[in-house]
Copies of this chain bind each other. A is one copy, B any other.
Amino acid sequence: MKATLRLDDQLCFALYAASRAMTATYRRLLEELGLTYPQYLAMLVLWERDSLTVGELGEQLLLDSGTLTPLLKRLESAGLVSRVRRPEDERSVLITLTDAGRALRDKANPIPDQLLCQTGMAPEDVIQLREELKTLTARLVTDTSNEGNTP
């Protein structure tokens, strides 16, 4: 059977709509932390392992310096991270949490549960969907016809 051009049939649109709805949900949760959703993702990575280079952060988030540099400058302006050139290799920039950045983690702690609640899904269903999405991402990213892609 041939796939159609109907909007309703497109996996891509279901994905795109869900991703935007999810970001909108986070926007409200993150408002009081003063973070945007992509900034929150960067903070998640830093809370797990502090002092990463821009490149290492980008590897986790699948984002390049064109996106991360201005985002990290905003986090720096907000007093949450510091950006310093690595002495042993001045090409890379180390991103390190400030005390305020580390402290923000406490305010972020309830967010994952709040979000789970908003999805109205059973935790095991969330896990299954999440893993399906990871598989899909891996297939789309590693596809050979994808060579030369960002980042």
A residues apposed to B, CB below 8 Å:
1-7, 9-26, 28, 37, 41, 44-45, 47-48, 60-62, 105, 108-109, 111-113, 115-116, 118-121, 123, 126, 129-134, 136-137, 139-141, 143, 145-146, 149-150
CB distance from A107 to the nearest CB of B (A): 11
Contact between B129 and A3, CB atoms less than 8 A apart: no
Task: Write 13 A-B pairs (CB below 8 A) sorted by A numbering.
Answer: A7-B45, A10-B130, A12-B23, A13-B41, A14-B134, A15-B19, A17-B134, A18-B137, A24-B150, A28-B146, A120-B139, A120-B143, A129-B136
- In the complex, the chain B residue whose C-beta lies closest to that of A105 is B5
Copies of the polypeptide in the assembly: 2
The residue that A44 contacts in the complex, of B6, B22, B23, B109, with Cβ under 8 A, is B6
Contact between B116 and A21, CB atoms less than 8 A apart: no
Contact between B132 and A17, CB atoms less than 8 A apart: no
CB distance from A38 to the nearest CB of B (A): 8
Residues of B within 8 A of A12 (CB): 22-23, 26, 37, 115
Contact between A21 and B120, CB atoms less than 8 A apart: no
